[in-house]
Structure 1
Amino acid sequence: MTHIWQGFWRGLRSGAWLTPARARGYSLILLGVCAVAISGWIALSDGLIDRNGKPVGTDFSNVYAAGTLTWQGRPADAYVPALQHAAEKAVFGGREVPFYGWHYPPFFFAVAVLVAAVPYAFGLAIWLVASLAAYLAVMRAILPRPETWLIAAAFPAVVVNIGHGQNGFLTAALLGGALHLLDRRPWLAGVLIGCLAYKPQFGVLIPVALLAGGRWSTIAAAAATVAALVAVSFATLGGGVWHAFADSMTFTQTVVLEQGGTGWEKIQSIFSAARMWGASVPAAYAAQIALAIMLAACLAWLWRSNAAFELKASALASGSLLATPYVLDYDLVVLAVAIAWLARHGLRRGFEPFEISLLAAAWLVPLLSRGVAGASGIPLGLVVLLLTFACTMRRAVRDRGGDRDRKEPMRTPKRIAQA
């Protein structure tokens, strides 16, 4: 038994257990299981309402309903829970469905209007296929290896996002694309970052990194993009919709976040973990703010340093997930961006002990985080996010001098390096 545990520990430490063949095999198995599950989910639905009484695509119903309200000339109604819920029920012929709130800034109505121009099923399919394609293209650009598409497609956060009809693919594509283009096309990177303002909670640390790195053209482009989006929304929807959005933020903050209306096990933040463990709202905010300050300080140092860009990009991606109190398991699609940048650096420079196993754990955690938190109160997603960020920072401390200062290269198992 001792020999078994020693062998297990050595494999975990070296990462030699994760061969390219196993990575492909695990990915294919998970893809197959998810494809069967999704097909069965749709086949067993009744008029796009599943066996649990929820719409197929669940959260997408709020986007589609907001789009129908906009087509009717009533976009501000999307921010009123009763009116938004009525619109969601109308999408399904008046059948009773759960309420899914519309919490996005007004310029995201552009997406809602487009998907609501066609029947619900087609709108959902177009939304998921288009955003998934963008996500996969960005992942392949970050890590141009033959297996990237397969492993990125099988990433469990993908099926979580599909099941919710959510926007994790778009968020990951915008952030990952911006980081990929930051050096070569800084203005275009700024435009992508500006578009990311549709999920403003994920932009807390981006200005810190850009300012620390002196990325002035990207900052200017991002600011101009946000200003243009706001101006266009004012011109097309009117100022009243912005007042409605501002008024709705109280409901979002108190009911959805502070009271756990979404479910503590679904939210992957330290705020949610503290509330799940019984902490008061002020104590949970204090923990979240303290973590955000620590993350900002680390990123400011990192982006001012001459550490490899892969580490800066990975830390910003994982740090952006950690800094906000409102990050759900479908948002963990963004974790794929952090994994890809960190893996790219490891494949180029070698991996430290346990790093390959940590990357595998980060890849798997979206499949387990909700269930583990719901059953045990352990915020597994938060733990793995913290470990991923800490791993990136540890590499940055050792690598801050870049390739020139590395005295002893780290080692990568040959089977992985040659894949």
Structure 2
Amino acid sequence: MNFIREARWLDAGRVRGYAVLLAIASAGLLIASWLEAMGPEGSDFLAFWGSARAVLEGVPSAAYDLQWQERVQTGAGPTGWFAFVNPPPFLFLTAPFGALPFPLAWIAWVAVTYGAWAWASVRAFPRLWPLAIVFPGALIAAGHAQNGFVTGALLVGGVALLDRRPMLAGALLGALIVKPHLALLVPFWLAAGGRWRAFASASASAAGLLALSWLVFGTATMLAYTDSWDASAAIMREADADFLLRMSTLYAQLRIHAGQVFANGAALVLALAMIGLVMASWKRFGQNGMATGSVMLAATALASPYLFNYDLPFLILPILWLVREGLRHGFRPWEKALLVALWFAPYATRAVALPLGLNLMPLAAGVLLWLLWTRAPVRSGAQQK
């Protein structure tokens, strides 16, 4: 039993060795994902590529035109196509990739966005870099060629920089306007900690990106984006069990097993509870931005009702913060084993969701949050470098 309870055998050498093996396996899985994306069903990235083509052809509002997108995306080869529903500032990110044919654009998007996320993660925990670069949550994000690396880089960078460069941290967090439901807890976290410089910077960043996208892409594009809300609503309204099982939220699981009304109520209560917990984290951990930020990110995985496992690269920060605390102060019984399970959780819970009929990622996020909260609080005012 001590083999798992204490896990003393899991030392730095073995971690590096396992990371190499996982990297090799990940390369094969990534190739398989690319081949699948080039098949008849296509890939989520078609929506990003189609939006980029609209910008480069001088009709950015067509990014949200379903008929235009169907024509352009299916013209790349696949018979499947996907609606683009991200806010207009996201077009600044996708536009350059429209200059490439879809197969090369997919590769370039994954490489560039993974690089941004890996840079932010390794900068936050330089000594733990093997655990960062082969994080299974990153593997599933890469395979989908979605935007989890973009939002992950913004969240990880924003939290890691808060204590040292609050204005830059706020600017990064404000850029989450490209996927605002992932920033649900950010303003409450910053306000409760009295981090007003970061709060102001985040507000300016979000407002500035919206204004710039309006200036560059025009009023027609801003209005077309509001039309895309109908597509988003239709996706959720028509979602079947298979779609909901791919979501990593408590809301989705409750909607399957308890119905829409109960799921809506539970999601609201859970979001309010996470807001309260994040605000209280400053009292528990003092002015330690990395500690409270870890709580905020773990709580984000629970608070948002719309989240997929490919959205979870940001969980690398709370997981590695716990690893670093364990290395500094000693691991608690079972903690190493739980951290290994949580490290694999974004990929593992997605893999078993359909066969099991339940996505267990909300349970994993709850365990992560409990481990963070019960970690011995640092002294008030201490800073994590």
User: Normalization by structure 1: what TM-score?
Assistant: 0.85
Structure 1: gaps of 5 or more residues: 1-6, 405-419
Question: Relative to 1, partners in 2 of residues 1:38 and 1:400: Cα closer, same or farther, differing over 3 Å?
Answer: closer
Q: How many residues align?
A: 381
Percent identical residues: 30
**Aligned counterpart in structure 1 of residue 271 of structure 2, from 292, 295, 318:** 292
Q: What is the DSSP-based 3-state SS (H/G/I as helix, E as strand, rest coil) of the residue aligned with 1:353? A: coil
**Aligned counterpart in structure 1 of residue 46 of structure 2, from 61, 71, 82:** 61
Distance in 1 of aligned mates of 2:164 and 2:197: 12
Alignment of 1:170-319 (within 5 A): 170-256=150-236, 259-260=239-240, 263-277=243-257, 279-307=258-286, 308-319=288-299
Alignment of 1:342-381 (within 5 A): 342-381=322-361
- Displacement of 1:151: 2.0
Letter in 2 for 1:399: P
Letter in 1 for 2:141: N
Question: Relative to 1, partners in 2 of residues 1:186 and 1:28: Cα closer, same or farther, differing over 3 Å?
Answer: same
CA contact (8 A) 2:249 2:306 kept: yes
Letter in 1 for 2:20: L
Name the counterpart of 1:79: 64
**Aligned counterpart in structure 2 of residue 120 of structure 1, from 97, 102, 122:** 102
- Displacement of 1:172: 1.4
Name the counterpart of 1:38: 30
- Displacement of 1:318: 1.2
Question: Relative to 1, partners in 2 of residues 1:403 and 1:174: Cα closer, same or farther, differing over 3 Å?
Answer: closer
- Displacement of 1:160: 1.3
Name the counterpart of 1:142: 124
Letter in 1 for 2:124: I
Distance in 2 of aligned mates of 1:173 and 1:185: 16
Distance in 1 of aligned mates of 2:328 and 2:289: 12
Q: What is the DSSP-based 3-state SS (H/G/I as helix, E as strand, rest coil) of the residue aligned with 1:302? A: helix
Q: Can you list the C-alpha shifts for 1:352-405, whole angstroms capped at 9, x where unaligned?
A: 22222111111111222122211112322111111101111122xx4264599x
Name the counterpart of 1:168: 148
Distance in 2 of aligned mates of 1:17 and 1:79: 53
CA contact (8 A) 1:142 1:340 kept: no
Q: What is the DSSP-based 3-state SS (H/G/I as helix, E as strand, rest coil) of the residue aligned with 2:99? A: coil
Q: Which moves more between the two structures, 260-269 or 308-317?
A: 260-269
Question: Relative to 1, partners in 2 of residues 1:261 and 1:242: Cα closer, same or farther, differing over 3 Å?
Answer: farther
Root-mean-square deviation over aligned CA pairs: 2.2
CA contact (8 A) 2:284 2:377 kept: no
- Displacement of 1:260: 4.3
Q: What is the DSSP-based 3-state SS (H/G/I as helix, E as strand, rest coil) of the residue aligned with 1:399? A: coil
Greater CA radius of gyration, 1 or 2? 1
Structure 2: gaps of 5 or more residues: none
Q: What is the DSSP-based 3-state SS (H/G/I as helix, E as strand, rest coil) of the residue aligned with 1:346? A: helix
Name the counterpart of 2:74: 89
Q: Which moves more between the two structures, 225-234 or 21-30?
A: 21-30
Q: What is the DSSP-based 3-state SS (H/G/I as helix, E as strand, rest coil) of the residue aligned with 1:218? A: helix
Distance in 1 of aligned mates of 2:230 and 2:294: 33
Name the counterpart of 1:408: none
Question: Relative to 1, partners in 2 of residues 1:204 and 1:258: Cα closer, same or farther, differing over 3 Å?
Answer: farther
User: Normalization by structure 2: what TM-score?
Assistant: 0.92
- Displacement of 1:291: 0.9
